[in-house]
Structure 1
Amino acid sequence: MAKHAARWGLAVLAASVGIGFGSGLLLRQITPQQSLSANDFTGSVSAATPEPKPHYLLKGYEGKLAVFIIGKEEPELVLDRYLHHLPDVDRLRLEEGIQVAQYSDLLRLIEDYTS
């Protein structure tokens, strides 16, 4: 019985060393200085979806919150929300203008600033 337990222990130890050694080899194959490409992986690799271009600009206009179409001088919509009622951080962001690509994101921001 003790002989059997000793063999079992050696088998587990050998397997552990083998796994550790194999892992070490795998880790040494890719160093931090190397870069990986999509060809280094098997299976399907999808390209990253590019961010859509901003279409709207949410900013202040005559002291109120307004929506502009990027490239146009006049606002598409002026909301009845005065900027001076907003916190300083929000007011500063709106003075610079917040570019928004998606209409749904624009609606969410308007809701955030008007509620």
Structure 2
Amino acid sequence: MMKHLSYSFRVLSCISAAAILTFSLWMLSGPAAPDTAQTAGSMPEYYAAIAENRVVIYITGRAEPVLVTEIDARTLPDADRALLEDGIFLESAADVNRLLEDYSG
């Protein structure tokens, strides 16, 4: 019985991680309105931070996050939390997905 629960939990965790990645790709692939004060390529498109102990993703220049993950920042290593507290700038949606995959694994 315990092995079955453990296996079910692992399967559910993998499905959840895949759903988060798929949803984040979908959310981040939409067109972002460019900030007129920026020139093309002058700033990274996204950044990751911590809000209410969750890893969140913002589009540069916007105040509201485009993705609030279920990743609890308190479970991350101190070095990763420190980087997120300062904000991690990401060039593309692929970079966002790599970061989320690293943190959800």
Q: TM-score range by the shorter chain?
A: 0.5 to 0.7
* Match of residue 86, structure 2, among 76, 96, 107: 96
Aligned-residue CA RMSD (Å):
1.4
Structure 1: runs of 5 or more not aligned: 1-50
The normalised TM-score by structure 2 is 0.58
* Structure 2: runs of 5+ lacking an equivalent: 1-40
Partner of 1:60: 50
Deviating above 2 A after TM superposition, structure 1's stretches of 4 or more consecutive aligned residues are none
Counterpart in 2 of 1:70? 60
* 1:20-99 alignment, distance < 5 Å: 53-99=43-89
The two structures have a TM-score, normalised by structure 1, of 0.53
Q: Hey, what does 1:105 align to over in structure 2? A: 95
The letter for the 2-side match of 1:71 is: G
Provide the C-alpha distance between the structure 1 equivalents of 2:100 and 2:43, rounded to a whole number of angstroms.
19
SS for the counterpart of 1:104 is helix
> What percentage of residue pairs aligned between the two structures are identical?
37
Q: Counterparts of 1:112 and 1:53 in 2: how far apart (Å)? A: 23
- Structure 2: distance between partners of 1:52 and 1:107: 21
